[in-house]
């Protein structure tokens, strides 16, 4: 069997992989005592559902609009009274999500490799959360599906990353905590690594990740131990 092509770029999903979407729980709890965790989980579920539904319907709206719509639906479902002020506070919280503790140290380990974000997030949302966590100087590109007006896991999104990075798909490592995203990237031709922070069971999508890790910390050593390690 031929050895895998050396990776020349690493592309990271943003939400749930680099940035903790549930770091909004504190703000949710402050506004709706006893409902913070439930609201955060349902908000995230509806957010993802709406990206898939809008892609299938061919009715694109940017991630900010989808995030707001998902918040409204989640609050209505939980019978929570959402005001204009509370909507603003929660939407602002999404612009300042906290990076997971292993993010900065891991990213600085890849000195000789292109690094990029590929996300459903709108450019304004991504730029805000990246800057808020002091990560803006670590990436060669922060790529949004907004340029294509369709969401992951559509193949055109992964093709866009390969085109922008001027790197063939087989030489790109893709890193995500979302298995549906890993499946989409694998199906397209990326070498995908699943960051399974929550110990989830993989979906049966006929796609196997190159490796499964409980966090980002082990990724540099894993890649270095393989012939597909990042290369300049």
Contact 102, 216 (CB under 8 A): yes
| Annotated catalytic residue 140 | no
How do residues 145-195 score in pLDDT, each as one tens digit? Answer: 999 999 999 999 999 999 999 999 999 999 999 999 999 999 999 999 999
DSSP string covering 90-101, please? HHHHHTTPEEPT
CA–CA gap between residue 81 and residue 32 (Å, rounded): 9
Which of the four CATH numbers 3.40.50.300, 1.10.1040.10, 3.30.413.10, 1.10.150.240 does domain 21-94 have?
A: 1.10.150.240
**Going by DSSP bridges, is the β-strand pair 98-99/19-20 parallel, antiparallel, or unpaired?**
antiparallel
Distance (Å) of CA 11 to CA 8, 59, 60, 126, 230: 10, 26, 23, 14, 12
Token pair listed for 28? 């949710």
Hey, do 9-18+100-225 and 21-94 end up sharing a CATH topology, with the first three levels equal?
no
Q: Coil, strand, or helix at residue 133?
A: coil
Q: Which of 166, 177, 135, 161 is nearest to 44 (CA)?
A: 177
Query: In CATH terms, is domain 9-18+100-225 a member of 3.40.50.10890?
Result: no
Token pair 């300042």 is found at 96
| pLDDT score of 1 more than 50 | no
**pLDDT, tens only, 52-92:** 999 999 999 999 999 999 999 999 999 999 999 999 999 99
Q: What is the pLDDT of residue 225?
A: 86
Q: Which among 76, 94, 77 has a CA at the least distance from the CA of 28? A: 94
pLDDT digits (tens, 9 = 90+) for 96-143: 999 999 999 999 999 889 999 999 999 999 999 999 999 999 999 999
Q: Is the pLDDT of residue 3 over 70?
A: no
End-to-end CA, the chain: 24
Looking at 13, 20, 146, 181, which residue is catalytic?
Answer: 13
| Predicted pLDDT of residue 161 | 98
Q: Where are the domains of the chain?
A: 9-18+100-225, 21-94
């Amino acid at each position: 069997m031929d050895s895998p092509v050396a990776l020349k770029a690493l592309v990271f999903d943003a939400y749930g992989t680099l940035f903790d979407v549930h770091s909004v729980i504190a703000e949710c709890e402050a506004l709706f005592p006893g409902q913070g965790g439930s609201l955060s989980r349902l908000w995230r579920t509806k957010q993802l559902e709406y990206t898939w539904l809008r892609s299938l319907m061919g009715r694109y709206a940017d991630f900010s609009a989808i995030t707001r719509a998902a918040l409204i639906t989640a609050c209505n479902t939980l019978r929570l009274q959402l005001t204009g002020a509370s909507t603003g506070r929660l939407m602002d919280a999404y612009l300042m999500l906290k990076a997971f503790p292993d993010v900065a140290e891991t990213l600085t380990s890849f000195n000789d490799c292109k690094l990029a974000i590929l996300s459903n997030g709108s450019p304004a949302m991504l730029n805000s959360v990246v800057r808020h966590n002091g990560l803006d100087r670590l990436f060669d590109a922060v790529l949004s599906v907004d340029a294509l007006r369709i969401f992951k896991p559509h193949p055109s999104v992964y093709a866009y990353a390969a085109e922008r990075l001027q790197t063939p798909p087989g030489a790109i490592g893709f890193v995500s905590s979302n298995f549906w995203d890993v499946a989409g990237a694998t199906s397209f031709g990326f070498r995908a690594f699943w960051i399974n922070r929550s110990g989830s069971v993989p979906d049966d999508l006929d796609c196997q990740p190159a490796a499964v890790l409980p966090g980002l910390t082990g990724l540099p050593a894993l890649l270095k131990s393989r012939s597909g390690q990042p290369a300049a």
